[in-house]
Amino acid sequence: MEILVCVRRVPDTSENEIQLSSAGNDIERDDLVYSVNEPDNYAVEEAIQIAANAGGNVTVVTVGSEEDEEVLRREMAMGANQGVLLSDDAFAGSDGKGIATILKALVQKGHYDLVLTGTQAEDGGAQVGGMLAALLDYPFASLVNAITVLDGGKLKISREIEGGNREMSEIDLPCVLSIQTGINEPRYVGMRGIRQVASVEIPTFGTSDLGVDPASVGTAGAKVKRTDYFMPVLGKGAEILQGSQEEIIDQLIELMKAKGGLN
C-alpha cells in the first residue's frame, strides 16, 4: 500500500511569544521557532504502523520552502520512507483550496492508495483534507481514531462523534482520512535518527513538474484572504466563594437565582 501523509511546519507555541504584526493581519514571524504540526505526527505514526502490518511505503509531503525540509526529515527519522517538498514561488499565499490543488496533483502523479492528514493545522483550519478528497473525488472521513485494513481494498475506521460516541464504517480505497490526535502514541525521534536522514536527497516539485496552473494557486488563485487578527478581550476572573460548605451552597443557590438559573 502506498501511503501519503501531508504534514505542515508551524510556529511552536510552547517556544514562542506570539505577537501581532503592525499591519494586524498576521503574526510577527521573524525569529520564531518552528516545529511539525502536532496532529500530523499522529497521522505519520498511523501510516508507519499500517505499512508495517499490511505492507507498503510511507511518503511525507509538505508545501512550502527549503526551510520546510526540516519537518520532512523529522518524519523520515520517525520512520517514513521518503519525503517530497512541493515548492514554487507561485504557491506563496495559497488558501486551503490552493494547498489542496497542489496536493491533488502530487497524489495523481504518485498514485497513492491512502492519503492521511492531521485533524487540523495548529496555525489554521481543518479544511485541506476534505477539500483534497473532493478535488480527487475520493471518499473522506474526518476525526478518525482507529483504522483496520480489510481485504478487498477496504478499511474499517472508527470516528469520534458527539457525546463521546464512536462511529464505525467501512471505506473504499483510495481515500483521504483526517487523523484525530490520540489514535496512537507517536514514537520518539532521537538525534541518531535525524543524523541518518540529514543527507538524504528530498525531491522538490513545482508547478511545471506537477502540471499545476499557477493562476489556480497562490495569491492569484486564493478565494479566501486573511484580513485581520485580534486579541480577544480579557474577561473577568472567576468569583471564588468563601465560607463553610453549607454557606457556599447557599451563596451558589442565590447566585443561580440571580442569574435566572433557578426559579
The answer to whether position 262 is within a domain reads no
pLDDT along the chain (263 residues), means of 10: 95 72 73 86 97 96 94 96 97 94 96 95 83 97 96 94 87 97 93 91 96 95 84 78 91 86 70
What is the C-alpha to C-alpha distance for residues 10 and 24, in angstroms, rounded to an integer? Answer: 19
The DSSP element (H or E) to which 104 belongs, if any, is helix 96-110
Residue 34 lies in a domain: yes
Is residue 250 in some structural domain?
no
What is the model's pLDDT at position 16? 66
Q: What is the DSSP letter of 1?
A: -
By CB atoms closer than 10 A (0-12, 13-18, 19+), residue 33 is exposed
CATH number at 198 reads: 3.40.50.620
Count CB atoms within 10 A of the CB of residue 256: 12
pLDDT of residue 22: 73
Residue 231 lies in a domain: no
Q: Is residue 241 domain-resident?
A: no
* 185 falls within a domain: yes
Show the domain range for 53.
Answer: 2-221
Is the Cβ–Cβ distance between 4 and 40 less than 8 Å?
Answer: no
Q: How far apart are CA 229 and CA 54, in angstroms?
A: 45
114-118/154-160 β-pairing: unpaired
The helix or strand, by DSSP H or E, that contains position 253, with its residue range, turns out to be helix 245-258
Closest to 84 (Cα-Cα) out of 103, 100, 108: 103
pLDDT of amino acid 231: 72
Q: What is the pLDDT of residue 240?
A: 86
Q: How many domains does the chain have?
A: 1
Q: Does some domain include residue 228?
A: no
Q: Is residue 254 part of a domain?
A: no
